[in-house]
Amino acid sequence: MNTTQNDVTKPGAKERLRRPPRPELDEVALAARRALEPAVEAKLKAERVQEMLRAMPDWQLTLGGKGIHRVREFPSAEVATLYSTFVTGFAKAHALPVGLHINGGQVRLTLYACRYRGRLVDLTEHVVGFAQQLG
């Protein structure tokens, strides 16, 4: 298929494209806007996850390295419930799934990346960054 068009009616006519080429997609920018599928989003390497987790001693890998887990202690069940409500709203604002279990004043918190075709994808910088914000 020829994508050039010649206008032979004009002297000195140059070849020109019938349509301009499509702009190249910037995958990093699309991932930041969540326009790509979660599985295509840039994944963290296992070493980098370990390095980031070393800086966050309260968080530990779970779910076969596809999630991170933390336990928080609060003075009462009411405070634990309020904290869980905060985390749930904050996770919703970041479009991240979160698992919470409350037992008295104790909250078990699990963060993981979104599912793709029913399976958990590897941890991303977005997930670990969210955990850093939670402390």
Q: Which residues contact 27 (CB under 8 A, 6 or more apart)?
A: 36, 40, 42
3-class secondary structure, 29: helix
The lowest-confidence range among 5-14, 46-55, 80-89 is: 5-14
More confident residue, 128 or 71: 71
Which residues, in sequence order, are CB contacts of 75 under 8 Å at separation 6+? 105
Model-level pTM? 0.61
The residue type of 61 is L
Distance between CA atoms of residues 76 and 83, nearest Å? 11
Closest CA to 135 of 58, 48, 81, 67: 58
Residue 109 to residue 83: CA distance in whole angstroms? 11
pLDDT in the model for residue 22: 67
Residue 12: pLDDT band with limits 50, 70, 90: low
CATH 3.90.550.10 fits 39-134, yes or no: no
Q: How many residues are recorded in the chain?
A: 135
Dump pLDDT digits (tens) for 15-36.
665 776 666 666 555 555 555 4
Q: What is the pLDDT of residues 87-118, one digit of tens each?
A: 999 999 988 889 999 999 999 999 988 777 87
- Evaluate whether 29 touches 42 at the Cβ level (below 8 Å): no
pLDDT at 40: 47
